[in-house]
Chain A
Amino acid sequence: MEFGRIEREIRIDATPEVVYEVVSSPEHLREWWPDEAEFEPVVGGTGSITFGDPASPEAKVEQLTVVEADPPRRFAFRWVHDKGVVAAPDNSLLVTMDLVASDGGTLLRFTETGFRERGWEAAVLEQAYRDHSSGWDHFLPRLVTRAESLVARP
């Protein structure tokens, strides 16, 4: 029985180059996951992602370290390690995005591992972000703003 690994696969009608940009650049990360993201998307790049209003004391800040950056094939990072420590298998979760060109689009293979090593506290923490990061109440306003800016474009 495997408790410690999440695996997903999704097909995207965009080139691996475009998908790579979306999964690795802090600007795009903010659109699909945290409210704020600051890191260099290069190997060894460290930084943070913030959930909630960064100005609020309620905001949750998590550390992130890029471990692989091989455009347009693979982007991998570790997160939830303590600030100032080197990300390692026993102190963080590893997220890997593998991109494979397929039929003019991209097959994105996602895995998140480390729940066994890092312990279930990390998974609890992951779930704690669920409500505000995956709800439509969070996403819809952004989508509308984005759509409006596209329409307004000459």
Chain B
Amino acid sequence: MIDDDLWSAVGDPTRRRLLDLLLTGNGGTATTLSEQLPVTRQAVAKHLGVLDRVGLVHALPAGRERRYEVDEAQLARAVAQLTSVGESWDARLQRIKRIAERVQRDRTADTDR
């Protein structure tokens, strides 16, 4: 089952950068994150809202701000979806192998004849 919202949430480069920062910095607020990115605090808050809605991050109150953390399980789900694209290529490559080896055997047999 493909979750379009989840995929488009990770489809944006700024949001992927935010996820990277949250993972390496062990969480952060819109303020601390905007200091590390060439975008405003407001823009960061908006992106965090998108990530929050698809469950990729969770907010915890921290003083006057909200502190965000990555939801590892949901992130793993997003990554697993790309993995399954990889698996469909595995199947195609196996077919390429079988076909090429069959063609090779046929040709070798023809030369030996």
Residues of chain A whose beta carbon lies under 8 Å from any beta carbon of chain B: 1, 3, 6, 8, 10-15, 18-19, 21-23, 28, 31-33, 106, 108, 110, 112, 115-116, 119-121, 123-124, 126-130, 133-134, 139, 146, 150
Contacts and interface: CB of A to CB of B under 8 A. Distances in A.
Best-buried of B10, B79, B97, B102 by chain A (most CB within 10 Å): B97
A75 to B, nearest CB: 11
Interface of B: 2, 4, 7-8, 10-11, 13, 16, 19-20, 23, 78-79, 81-82, 84-97, 99-104, 106-107
Contacts, number: 104
Contact of A123 (B19, B23, B81, B104): B81
B96 A3 contact: no
B51 to A, nearest CB: 14
A130 B104 contact: no
B88 A12 contact: no
Nearest to B9: A120
Given A3-B10, A3-B16, A22 B100 contact: yes
